[in-house]
Amino acid sequence: MRTDQQRFRRYLDKSEIHDVLLRYARGTDRRDMDMVRSTYFGDAYDDHGDYKGDVDGLIEWITTRHAAIPQSMHFLGNCLIEFIGDDVALVETYFSRRRVARGDDGAPDKVVHAESLGRYIDRFERRNNEWRVAKRIVVYDAVLTATLLGATHNVDWVWGRRDSADALFQMRSEIANQNEKTPI
């Protein structure tokens, strides 16, 4: 039987692993490759289907592949974390990944929507008291692509961006500025 301290440690480990997964999704969607890199160990291996190799190659592949994609969203679902030992975990995380881009002919009312459903099968390790991905296999369960005609882009809405002009970074800056002005 585990002690309260051991159960609390497992709870913290799960929280830290889940945070790594969320940072990966945010980093990819905001094109923050430093954040993506921070989720892997330097000697990690990634099998993304079209790319298989080390982290440097993965970053280059993502950067090139996403250069012409104006919108991207990763949604993470079920996440089961199985501890193999104190410093190794097998993690299965379901994902839905959506990308939207203008049609090849550049028509303003033509949008290509691509969605992939699958799972990240990860070997997480804790090294120097930090959890990161040591090996990832991306399993695809469904891939859907559709061309949409008459797609709208309401200019009054706040649209996601894949750079530092995204609303996330604007809000972060606003909060930081408010905290600087607020006396302690």
pLDDT level of residue 152 (50, 70, 90 thresholds):
low
* pLDDT, tens only, 9-30: 999 999 999 999 999 999 999 9
pLDDT at 9: 95
Burial class (CB within 10 angstroms; exposed 0-12, middle 13-18, buried 19+) of 132? buried
Of all residues in the chain, what percent carry a pLDDT higher than 90? Answer: 64
Q: List phi, psi (to 5°) of 5.
A: -65, -40
Fill in the DSSP letter of residue 155. Answer: T
pLDDT at 154: 73
Question: How many Cβ atoms sit within 10 Å of the Cβ of residue 39?
Answer: 24
pLDDT level of residue 107 (50, 70, 90 thresholds):
low
Average confidence (pLDDT) over 54-69:
94
4-157 to CATH, choices 3.40.50.720, 3.40.50.2000, 3.30.930.10, 3.10.450.50: 3.10.450.50
Say how many Å lie between the first and final Cα of the chain, rounded.
45
Question: How many Cβ atoms sit within 10 Å of the Cβ of residue 55?
Answer: 20
Average confidence (pLDDT) over 49-68:
94
Q: List phi, psi (to 5°) of 49.
A: 90, -80
